[in-house]
Each structure stands twice: as structure tokens, then as C-alpha cells.
Amino acid sequence: MKVDVLLGLQWGDEGKGKVVDVLTPRYDVVARFQGGPNAGHTLEFEGQKYVLRSIPSGIFQGDKVNIIGNGVVLDPALFKAEAEALEATGHKLKDRLHISKKAHLILPTHRMLDAAYEAAKGDAKVGTTGKGIGPTYTDKVSRNGVRVGDILENFEQKYAEAKKRHEQILKSLNYEYDLTELEKDWMQGIEYLKSFTLVDSEHEINNLLRDNKTVLCEGAQGTMLDIDFGSYPFVTSSNTVCAGACTGLGIAPNKIGEVYGIFKAYCTRVGAGPFPTELFDETGDKICTLGHEFGSVTGRKRRCGWIDLVALRYSIMVNGVTKLIMMKSDVLDTFPLIKACVAYKMNGEEIDYFPYSIDNNVEPVYVELPGWEMDMTNMQSEDEFPEEFNAYLTFLEEQLGVEIKIVSVGPDRAQTIERYTEE
């Protein structure tokens, strides 16, 4: 048995949570493989709206096993608040949510370090969520991290040593802080964490595969935020690409099956960093308003622009995407003209590949396509798609070389249409 992987192909916020929720009935297990509470997956169904930060998006579908893998970084206080909010709405977690002992813990001082480092960068700041993600991954790589499994043995000593080391750094940065309330909530989160099933997730997942259980691996953020292949240094601190599922869950590369790549019908980005197709006009504002483009974790307004096929082709290549899923098609319902970036102009030369570095000197080369100017939010099948929308899909498939298998025409679970369905 192989695992399937679902991940974002742009700069995050593509709608991964909704699709995981839609696909979960086909799987026995949903496993999150990287990122932390900086990722916000929004799901809407039955008149309710939920935002998940650390918990896998398969948690709402019956008795499926959900796993937080070793590649995830976990803040016990934020996890406790998220889990208790879900339990208050009737979604039981403790009997079906398993947490890897090898996942690293975000300490209160990690959050302070995050803020201090950003303040020190001044105008060169990356625009992090301030959740302590970067400093936690830094400690992990430098072999100074505190892991979930550590809460079961000699925890007080390990925590005190890490806190002391962080406070020395904060002192050198002249950063003033107060840990009192933050640490209190965090310690309560640690006790709460102990009530869950803590596992060696690499063994659990591989045993499930041997038992012919189906597994969907859920990624966070997006490919263009990957620490190695994204628009560095304006990236996250983990591997958001398909290979991250192997290292973040303990799965061998030959166990990867389908790779679902998710993208919006346009493009967005949060925080600083290059964005070749960004729009600074009324069109950009309209996309933002119609798409409700505000961060589910930070609330920050997202930068909006036309779809970037150069970056998408790159993402498809590094992930080995086998099926595409297009989100927020309905946001473009009222546009008479739609643009798609098919190449870049750099230093007077036109290129169709994603280069080592992009900056504000990159000029997008656009192709213009007619809009469909029709409300698609109530459509139930691809047979109802307007001709112009079908032409847009065909154009994208020709450009990207992969079929668009699923199209989303609204935020609700029910507003999801599968294409190329078998008779």
C-alpha cells in the first residue's frame, strides 16, 4: 500500500484543509507532516466554520485516525486551545488523534525569540506569524530541541536548560519580555498533551500500510514557501514539498502514490517577499474582497494577483504532482477578462522557468483569456461549467501538463466538483 500526498503549490493559503476534509472518507488515516500553528486550514460545512492550526483536517470525518507527525512543531498552549474548541463543538479527539513523540515543542521563549529576531531585522523582516516556528526548527537542526516524548521523562530539566539558553540570547538582543502568562498557559498545555496517545509515528504509519490501510499525508503552507525550493529567504522553516512527507512521517520514497497539488485560480501571498503577478490596482482589491483574502491565523490582508504558471510548473516539477486541484474558481466569476502569467522578463530576456532568485525587476508576461461572467457557486457537476471556464481549464492543463481533477466553486464542503469521473 502507498500513501497519497496533498500539498499546496503556491505561497500557501490554497485551500488544503477543505480538500483534505472532502477526500478523507476515501482514507483510513490522515497524517500532517510539517509546519506548525503558523498554518491555518479553514473548513466550512453544515453552516459552521472551523480553523485548524496543528490538528489534521481529517478530524471531522467519523472515526478516521489522525496523526501529527514528527516533522510538525507543536505549541502545547495553542494546541490545547484548538483541541478544546473542537471538543466543545462535539468533535471527539482523544480516541482518534495520535501525536508523534519525535515532534518538536515550541517553547514560550521560542515565541519571544521569533519576535526579537524580526525586530532586529528592521525593514528586512520576513513577516513571520510570530508563533516561534523558525526558532523551534533552528533548535531542532542544531540538536538543542525539546520533543513531545521528552514530557514523559526528565522534562523539567530539559525545559529549564532550553529556557536558560534562550534567555541568554534574548538578553544579548536587549529584548524585553514577560513570560508569566505565556508560560502558565504553556505548562497547562503540557499536562493536556499527556492525555493524548503519543506514538512512534514512523512505526505506526508503516504498520498501517502493511495492514493495507489507506493514508493521506497533509502538508501545510505551500511549495513556494519551502525552505530549500521557495523564494528564499522569504520562506517558512520546513520542507513543504512532497519529500517533506517522507522525512516528516518516516515514509520511504517508494511508498508515495498520488500527489495532489492544490492551487487557486489566481494567486496570493502573505507577508514580505517577491510576488511577480501581484496587483496593486482595483482588480487586486476586488480579488481580495471577493476571495475574503485575510489570513486565518494572523488576520493579515493577503496580497493578490493573477495566476503564475511559471511558478506553478516549477512546483509541479519538484513535487511530482499527478493530479491538480483548483480552488476559488468562483472568485473570478465576475471578471470579463482573466490574465495568466506564462513567462517572466528578466534583464531584457524572456524565460519560462523559475530562476534562482526573483525580485521586483521580474516582469510577468501575460496571456489574456475571456472570463465566464457567470455565478458558478451553485453548480453541481462539470456539465454545468460555462464554455469560457472550460477553455480556462483546458488552457491551464496544456500549460501545466497535468489534469485538473477537482474544482472548487465555493468554500463549503459541498461546493466541490470532480472532473473526469468514471462512468
Q: Read off the DSSP letter of residue 198.
A: E
Of 220, 219, 310, 309, whose CA–CA distance to 256 is shortest?
Answer: 219
- For 361-388, how does the pLDDT look when each residue is reduced to its tens digit (9 = 90+)? 899 999 999 999 999 999 999 999 999 9
- The pLDDT assigned to 360 comes to 73
Annotated catalytic residue: which of 41, 104, 110, 166? Answer: 41
Contact 273, 12 (CB under 8 A): no
Of 291, 220, 215, whose CA–CA distance to 255 is shortest?
Answer: 215
Q: Cis ω on the peptide bond leading into residue 370 (within 30° of 0)?
A: no
At residue 151, the 3 state secondary structure works out as helix
Cβ contacts of 330 within 8 Å, gap of 6 or more: 375, 376, 377, 408, 409, 410, 415
Q: Compute φ and ψ for 29, nearest 5 degrees.
A: -140, 140
How far apart, in whole angstroms, are the C-alpha atoms of residue 201 and residue 99?
A: 7
How far apart, in whole angstroms, are the C-alpha atoms of residue 220 and residue 31?
A: 11
- The pLDDT assigned to 423 comes to 43
Cβ contacts of 5 within 8 Å, gap of 6 or more: 216, 217, 219, 242, 245, 256, 257, 258, 259, 260, 319
Of 364, 356, 361, whose CA–CA distance to 233 is shortest?
Answer: 356
> Nearest 5 degrees, angle CA 247-CA 319-CA 399?
170
Mean pLDDT by 10 residues, the chain (423 residues): 96 88 92 87 71 86 90 96 88 90 97 88 65 94 97 95 95 90 96 96 97 96 96 93 97 97 96 92 95 77 96 98 97 97 94 89 95 96 96 97 96 90 52
In sequence order, which ranges of 55-154 are alpha helices (DSSP H)? 76-88, 108-121, 133-141
- The pLDDT assigned to 297 comes to 62
Alpha-carbon 404 to chain mean position: 20
Annotated catalytic residue: which of 13, 21, 226, 333? Answer: 13
Q: What are the cell numbers at 15? A: 485551500
Active site annotation includes 41: yes
Give pTM, 2 decimals.
Answer: 0.92
Contact 92, 76 (CB under 8 A): no
How far apart, in whole angstroms, are the C-alpha atoms of residue 417 and residue 59?
A: 22
Residue 345 half-sphere exposure, CB side, CA atoms within 13 Å? 5
How far apart, in whole angstroms, are the C-alpha atoms of residue 6 and residue 290?
A: 25
Q: Cell 513556494 sits at which residue?
A: 224
- The pLDDT assigned to 58 comes to 85
- The pLDDT assigned to 89 comes to 83
- The pLDDT assigned to 46 comes to 67
How far apart, in whole angstroms, are the C-alpha atoms of residue 121 and residue 210?
A: 48
How far apart, in whole angstroms, are the C-alpha atoms of residue 114 and residue 111?
A: 5
